[in-house]
Amino acid sequence: MRQTARDHSSDLPAHLQIGPWTRAFYFVACSAAFVLLAAFAVKIESGPGLTWQSLLAIPAGIACADFVSGMVHWSADTWGSESMPVLGKRLLHPFRVHHVNPGDFLKRRFVDTNGDVAFLMILVLGAAWSMPMESPSQTFWAVFVLSLTAVGLMTNQIHQWAHMRRAPWLVRMLQRTGVILSYRAHRLHHQRPHTANYCIATGWCNAPLQAVQFFSVMEYLVSACTGLQPRSDEHAFTEAVSREGGDR
């Protein structure tokens, strides 16, 4: 069923409202994540194993973060149901809403947008703090983790910027040079059936993954092994929204 056109964005579903206690938790999580990230960078810089070869881990970590963002995005778009405990409302519902009402994402504050990911990055950085950095190879992996977490921490924010027709000027410069995901590149994902350009951090992985039909192959394998059909819950969500709109 084709989605019914809307005259007012207020008719569309929206992200769940964030309460004051949750927002306070998100604020603490964001602050702690950025402090830990900076402290980890200082620890790497002052270690004995840092060499110029270690810097090669930076693009590797960034690309890995972009790939992970694509895997999470694809998984949330394609599988599961809103009725699932915890993940249903915390992860899947926002993705269902996002395809029907992408403009609502722009109304979210910084801490609301990044709080969940910041908490996860705290756990990753906490575990990474014990990494040895005595040799160049050990430092290489520390720099890799630093790059991965830095981009991972900002993934939702980069995604939000990619929905702005006119992002802040520095962000636009990074988008134009291909450092992070651009509005034009991400717009391809929001064309039906929403099965392209899943990677939402830098977008570096989108072209090669599309070239080998990576996510299509993954869907075939999952369906063959489990019998599950991709995007069945999202189709039901979109149809329900269309019916509600037609009843208004």
Other residues' Cβ atoms within 10 Å of the Cβ of residue 178: 12
Q: Which of left, alpha, beta for 191 (phi over 0: left; psi -120 to 50: alpha)?
A: beta
**For residue 138, what are its two tokens?**
């050990």
* 71, pLDDT greater than 70: yes
Residue 32 binned pLDDT confidence (cut-offs 50, 70, 90): very high
* 241, pLDDT greater than 60: no
Report the pLDDT averaged over residues 163-192.
94
* 9, pLDDT greater than 70: no
Q: Please enumerate in sequence order all residues whose Cβ is within 8 A of that of 241, keeping only pairs 6 or more positions apart, or say none.
A: 3, 12, 13, 100
Question: Quick one: how far is CA 215 from the chain centroid?
Answer: 16
Cβ(140)–Cβ(57) below 8 Å = yes
**For residue 63, what are its two tokens?**
């690309």
Cβ(183)–Cβ(165) below 8 Å = yes
Closest to 83 in 3D by CA, of 244, 233, 241: 233
Strands, DSSP E only, in 34-129? none
User: How far is it, in rounded angstroms, from Cα 73 to Cα 150?
Assistant: 18
Cβ(143)–Cβ(57) below 8 Å = yes
Q: Which amino acid is at 48?
A: P
Rounded to 5°, the CA angle 15-19-22 comes to 100
Closest to 61 in 3D by CA, of 129, 123, 153, 127: 153
Q: Which of left, alpha, beta for 34 (phi over 0: left; psi -120 to 50: alpha)?
A: alpha
Report the pLDDT averaged over residues 183-208.
93
Angle, helix 57-78 to helix 214-226, in steps of 10 degrees: 50
Q: Residues 133-143: pLDDT tens digits?
A: 989 999 999 99
* 175, pLDDT greater than 50: yes
Residue 248 binned pLDDT confidence (cut-offs 50, 70, 90): very low
**For residue 2, what are its two tokens?**
């084709």
* 199, pLDDT greater than 90: yes
pTM of the model: 0.88
User: How far is it, in rounded angstroms, from Cα 83 to Cα 92?
Assistant: 9
